[in-house]
Every structure is written in structure tokens, then in C-alpha cells.
């Protein structure tokens, strides 16, 4: 991974699935990865695996729903490892339920994690990136932001909000040397899907490593290049 110093990568929701795979891919390319999330034990196990493979990985517990937690995490990363070169907003939750059965509590939780969490994390790193005139923000969105799926209204709304926020942010900061990239994956075999769905559709689903490889390749693009949005779907299409 070409850089004058070791890139510092902050990944939210890194205890499993796509976030864990992104951490592994960046670390394999020579970056220092900071895994953050609520499941500290799972992140520690994954960080240890990365270190045994020769990578640099650290863990900071963070709840993206809490502004105090996000700011503490940003401060710890900057104090220990220096400026944050890449923020990967991956933390997300969902409920596969019809609109009429989705509770207000569930809707609020989705928005707090999937949309507000992105807002808080970006707000925390943006001043430093603007000051350095350099930085990359990668938002793991979803094809549900632009595609209609049954039993996914609240999740889709949260991801559509991320996409709209990100598009506006990109227009505001691109001339300041900051890249904002949206990655919209289709179905990926992670624990976000229940066992029944994974058993039925697992053969058709993408793997977390597939998305991770794309994210790292986007970071490696020349500084003069900005891939604004990229859609990644299973070869056979949506489920």
C-alpha cells in the first residue's frame, strides 16, 4: 500500500462480516487498522488473527449511536496513532419486517445506527482531513438505498439517507482534497441474514471479502481519481 507512512484506517462495525473483512484486507496491504464496534471480544479475536498474519491491528470499543463514544474513539486513535487517513462507515443493523410491523423503537434504532452514526463519525474526522487537505471516507451503503425490497422499508430509508448525505458531503469537500466514496453492495453472506436465508441463498450471495477487496482497491486509486459510487451485486442478481 503505497504511502509515505503507514495509513491509519478506522473501521466501524468491525467485529464481524464486511467490517472484519475490510480490516483484514487493509492490514494485508500494510495499513494499520483500528477495529471499532460494540463487541470488544470479537474484535480482539479478529485483531489478534490479523497480528498473527503480520498485520497491524488495534481495537477501540465504540458505539456509533453515542456522540461521546464517537469523539472518545476519534481522540484515542489520533493520540495513539496519528491522523486518520481513512474512515470506513460500516456499522449497521436491520430488521426484515413489513412496514406495518416495524415498531417506532426499531425504526429509531436503525436511524441512530445506520444514518446518525455515519453523521457522527464523519463529523469527528472531517476537521482533521480538511486541515491536512487529504482523507478518504468510505460509506458502506446498500443497493436497498436505490432498489425496492419487501420487508425492508426502515433499513432502506436509513441507507437512502446515507447516500443523500454522502452525495452532498462529496460536493462540499472534494475540492478540499477529500474523497467520499459510496459502496452499494447487494446480498452478502453475513449474520445480518438469518440462518434460513443463508442456507437458501448462500450460494448466490457475495462474500465479505469480495466487498473488502473493492474497498481497498478504491483507496489505492491515484489521488487524482474519485470513484464516487460503485454498485456490487451477486452475479445472478438480487435475491
| 152 close to 196: Cβ distance less than 8 angstroms | no
Cell numbers standing for residue 137? 471516507
Does 1 fall in a domain?
A: no
H or E stretch covering 135: strand 135-140
Does 237 fall in a domain?
A: no
| 191 close to 149: Cβ distance less than 8 angstroms | no
Output the domain CATH number for residue 168.
Answer: 3.40.50.720
Q: What is the pLDDT of residue 5?
A: 83
Does 239 fall in a domain?
A: no
Q: What is the pLDDT of residue 4?
A: 57
Cell numbers standing for residue 189? 453472506
Torsion angle (degrees, nearest 10) of CA 178, 216, 212, 231: 60
Does 108 fall in a domain?
A: yes
Does 68 fall in a domain?
A: yes
Tally: H helices and E strands in the chain:
8, 7
Domain count, the chain: 1
pTM above 0.75, yes or no: yes
Q: What is the pLDDT of residue 1?
A: 54
Does 160 fall in a domain?
A: yes
The crossing angle, in degrees rounded to 10, of helices 17-28 and 40-52 is: 30
Among 32, 6, 15, which Cα is nearest to 208's? 15
Low pLDDT (below 50) residues in the chain: 2-3
Does 238 fall in a domain?
A: no
Does 194 fall in a domain?
A: yes
* C-alpha–C-alpha distance, residues 151 and 122, integer Å: 29
- pLDDT tens digits, one per residue of 74-84: 999 999 999 99
Q: What is the residue range of 159's domain?
A: 8-232
Among 183, 182, 177, 191, which Cα is nearest to 16's? 191
Q: What is the pLDDT of residue 2?
A: 43
Q: What is the pLDDT of residue 3?
A: 44
Radius of gyration of the chain (CA): 17
Distance of CA 196 to the CA centre of its chain: 25
* C-alpha–C-alpha distance, residues 233 and 67, integer Å: 33
Among 2, 6, 13, 5, which Cα is nearest to 138's? 13
Q: What is the pLDDT of residue 193?
A: 85
Amino acid at each position: 500500500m503505497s504511502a509515505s507512512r503507514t495509513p491509519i484506517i478506522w473501521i466501524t462495525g468491525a467485529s464481524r462480516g464486511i467490517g472484519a473483512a475490510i480490516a483484514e484486507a487493509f492490514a494485508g496491504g500494510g495499513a494499520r487498522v483500528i477495529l471499532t464496534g460494540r463487541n470488544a471480544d470479537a474484535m480482539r479475536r479478529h485483531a489478534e488473527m490479523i497480528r498473527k498474519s503480520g498485520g497491524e491491528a488495534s481495537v477501540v470499543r465504540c458505539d456509533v449511536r453515542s456522540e461521546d463514544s464517537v469523539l472518545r474513539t476519534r481522540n484515542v486513535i489520533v493520540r495513539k496513532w496519528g491522523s486518520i487517513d481513512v474512515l470506513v462507515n460500516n456499522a449497521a443493523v436491520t430488521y426484515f419486517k413489513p412496514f406495518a410491523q416495524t415498531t417506532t423503537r426499531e425504526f429509531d434504532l436503525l436511524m441512530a445506527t445506520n444514518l446518525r452514526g455515519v453523521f457522527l463519525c464523519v463529523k469527528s474526522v472531517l476537521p482533521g482531513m480538511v486541515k491536512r487537505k487529504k482523507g478518504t471516507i468510505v460509506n458502506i451503503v446498500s443497493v436497498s438505498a436505490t432498489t425496492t425490497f419487501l420487508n425492508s422499508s426502515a433499513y432502506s430509508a436509513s441507507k437512502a439517507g446515507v447516500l443523500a448525505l454522502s452525495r452532498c458531503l462529496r460536493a462540499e469537500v472534494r475540492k478540499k482534497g477529500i474523497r467520499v466514496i459510496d459502496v452499494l453492495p447487494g446480498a452478502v453472506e453475513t449474520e445480518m441474514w438469518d440462518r434460513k436465508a443463508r442456507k437458501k441463498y448462500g450460494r448466490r450471495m457475495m462474500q465479505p471479502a469480495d466487498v473488502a477487496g473493492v474497498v481497498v482497491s478504491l483507496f489505492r486509486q491515484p489521488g487524482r481519481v474519485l470513484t464516487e459510487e460503485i454498485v456490487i451485486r451477486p452475479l445472478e442478481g438480487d435475491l
